[in-house]
Chain A
Amino acid sequence: MLIITRRPGEKIMVGDDIVVHVMEIVGNSVRVGIEAPRSVPVYREEIWNAVRDENRAAADTAPDALPKPDKQDA
C-alpha cells in the first residue's frame, strides 16, 4: 500500500485518468472527489462489500431452491 500525506486542495493521480481530490477535512471526516472514466465504477467500500456478498449468496442458489408460484400463495 502506498501511504502519502495530502492537504486539502491537493490531488492524487491513479494512472493517467483517475484523479482523487482531497477536498476538505471537517472534524474526523475527509471529503474526497474522484474523477474516473465511465468504465471504472466507484463505490463506497462498505456498499461494494455488501453487494458483493449478496451477489455471491444469490450465485449459491440451487436450481430447485426457488418457490413455485402455487407455493407462494400458501
Chain B
Amino acid sequence: MPPVIVESSRFGTLEIEESAVIEFPTGLIGLGGTRWTLVGDITDGPFQWLHSLEDGDLALPVTNPWAFFAEYEVDLSDADTAKLGADEAAVLVTVRASTELAGFSANLRAPILIAEGRGHQMINEAKDAPVRAPLFEIAESAAA
C-alpha cells in the first residue's frame, strides 16, 4: 500500500507508512479524528506528536507518562478494558504546553492507549489522575 501523504502545517509533507497508521474508532474526546500517527523520535526528547492524517493542522504533543510520573497508574472500567481488546497497550498522555516550563502539564485523567494499531482515549478511574498534572514541578521549585 502506498504511504499516506499528509501536508502538515507544523512539519511540512509527511509520508506515513500504512503500518504506522493508528486507527481511533471513536476519535479523541471532543476532537474526533479516526486516523492518526506518531511523529517525532523519542530519542530526541520525551515528546512526540499525535498527528491527524485527516487534518494537516491537527496535532497534539504527547509523552510517555512514566517519563514524568513514576507512580502513574491507569485503571480502566471493564467496558473500556473490553473495548481495548488486548492485554497490553502503549500508554501516552497529551501535553498542554506553555511559555513557562512551570505551565506545562499532562492529562493523566484521559490517557491514550494504543494496541494492535488501534488507539483509544479512555477515562482513567485511578485516584490521583488530574487533567492537568504539572510536568516540571521539580524544575520549578528548584528555580524558586
Chain A interface residues (CB < 8 Å from chain B): 38-41, 43, 47-59, 61-63, 65-69, 71-72, 74
Contact = CB atoms under 8 A, between A and B. Distances in A.
A66 B47 contact: yes
B131 A50 contact: yes
Given A43-B29, A50-B109, A68-B45, A58 B79 contact: no
A38 B107 CA distance: 23
A5 B33 CA distance: 36
B97 interface: yes
Contacts of B61: 58, 61, 65-66
A58 B58 contact: no
Interface residues of B, number: 38
Contact of A51 (B26, B29, B95, B136): B29
Given A58-B107, A65-B99, A74-B139, 19 more contacts: A38-B79, A38-B83, A41-B29, A47-B109, A48-B30, A50-B131, A52-B31, A55-B29, A55-B31, A55-B110, A58-B61, A58-B97, A59-B31, A66-B45, A66-B61, A66-B97, A67-B104, A69-B45, A72-B136
Given A61-B61, A63-B11, A68-B45, A54 B96 contact: yes
Contacts of A57: 96
Interface in B98-140: 98-99, 101, 104, 107, 109-110, 121, 123, 131-132, 136, 139
Given A38-B83, A66-B97, A68-B45, A59 B29 contact: no
A39 B25 contact: yes
